[in-house]
Chain A
């Protein structure tokens, strides 16, 4: 077993990074903030994937690589596997995590900050902030797959919290 740190180090670092980009650096430009957060995730995914695959033979096809992300990669990062994988066999894959670790913490926040009088706005704001947080894992997946030689676009769907689906569209 390699070195470990407390999970709250990672949680707090990500929360603060997202908040810095959304509320301080690009307060009026959410698109730019999103792109930067995704870029940070991309870098992390690229490097993690390089480290995790050092000793492995190359993957022979896209499905093999996606399965690696669902099992080994996800277990290293989130201590569980992806719960459900779907594909249309034309380059689109949907990876569903029934209890996405980084959102289970956030939904607790929602309950605390919502008050009856401001329910609508508070909810909108929370949804917006949760979706900002998802640019980070989207970037991680894109970075990891890119390092395996698979250029793709990744988006997230969190309409069934705390479940979260990541949609991978392979390019080319």
Chain B
């Protein structure tokens, strides 16, 4: 049987159940706000947002693989493109672009110009040092870990901190192909 063709991010997003982004954006904002009150330290909030993202990412990868029909990527470059064009699009409804590759193709930047997490958000001065969107870096790290890629994901640019875009640096640390838990059809 011929393998099912991978679907574009637009096609997947058009077919998933969608909700009003306000609910998502305001819920995330209320969570960050409550975490700042309860945990007090901005550093700790960053850590917990990343942890929450990681936990979400390790679940989200199943839905991603099931709905996108994406098969195993040949290299990390393809992986990054798939995250940017299919992953972001099918969940958040926006695509990212991939740039700033290093020479050996293990480190790149994902650039997000439009980010539904930050609609209506303005950070007060007391939140300096907060990586408001840190849940995103956790999601990417968690999802990639489930397909045997250990990565380090860090923020380079953040519009809430006055930059002109959101830029996440994704660095591949280690690949463990034998633990790959999904069967390929090839």
Chain A interface residues (CB < 8 Å from chain B): 2-10, 12-14, 16-17, 19-20, 24-25, 36, 39-41, 43-44, 47-48, 51, 76-77, 79
Whether A4 and B60, one on each chain, are in contact in the complex, defined by CB atoms closer than 8 angstroms, is no
B21 within 8 A of A: yes
Give the residues in chain B near A9, CB-CB below 8 Å: 24, 91-92
Chain B interface residues (CB < 8 Å from chain A): 13, 16-24, 26-31, 33-34, 38-39, 48, 51-52, 55-56, 59-60, 63, 90-93, 116, 119, 135
Return the contact of A44 from the options B27, B60, B92, B119 (Cβ within 8 A): B27
Whole-angstrom distance between the Cβ of B141 and the nearest chain A Cβ: 14
Return the contact of A13 from the options B24, B34, B63 (Cβ within 8 A): B24
Whether A47 and B26, one on each chain, are in contact in the complex, defined by CB atoms closer than 8 angstroms, is yes
The distance in angstroms between the C-alpha atoms of A16 and B16, with both chains bound, is: 20
Return the contact of A16 from the options B24, B29, B56, B116 (Cβ within 8 A): B56
Shortest Cβ distance from A20 into B: residue: B52
Give the residues in chain A near B20, CB-CB below 8 Å: 2-4, 76-77
Whole-angstrom distance between the Cβ of A33 and the nearest chain B Cβ: 10
Whether B34 and A36, one on each chain, are in contact in the complex, defined by CB atoms closer than 8 angstroms, is yes
Interface of A is mostly: helix
Shortest Cβ distance from B31 into A: residue: A17
The distance in angstroms between the C-alpha atoms of A6 and B18, with both chains bound, is: 4
Give the residues in chain A near B23, CB-CB below 8 Å: 10, 44, 48, 76-77
Return the contact of A12 from the options B48, B59, B119 (Cβ within 8 A): B59
Whether B24 and A10, one on each chain, are in contact in the complex, defined by CB atoms closer than 8 angstroms, is yes
Whether B56 and A79, one on each chain, are in contact in the complex, defined by CB atoms closer than 8 angstroms, is no
Whether A16 and B52, one on each chain, are in contact in the complex, defined by CB atoms closer than 8 angstroms, is yes
Whole-angstrom distance between the Cβ of B32 and the nearest chain A Cβ: 10
The distance in angstroms between the C-alpha atoms of A2 and B25, with both chains bound, is: 13
A-B residue pairs in contact (CB < 8 Å), sample of 13 = A3-B22, A6-B91, A8-B17, A8-B60, A9-B24, A10-B24, A12-B56, A16-B55, A17-B31, A39-B34, A40-B31, A48-B22, A76-B20
The distance in angstroms between the C-alpha atoms of A8 and B138, with both chains bound, is: 16
Return the contact of A3 from the options B16, B21, B28, B60 (Cβ within 8 A): B21
Whether A3 and B93, one on each chain, are in contact in the complex, defined by CB atoms closer than 8 angstroms, is yes
Whether A5 and B93, one on each chain, are in contact in the complex, defined by CB atoms closer than 8 angstroms, is yes
Whether A3 and B26, one on each chain, are in contact in the complex, defined by CB atoms closer than 8 angstroms, is no
Give the residues in chain A near B92, CB-CB below 8 Å: 5-6, 9
Whether A19 and B19, one on each chain, are in contact in the complex, defined by CB atoms closer than 8 angstroms, is no
Give the residues in chain B near A47, CB-CB below 8 Å: 26, 29-30
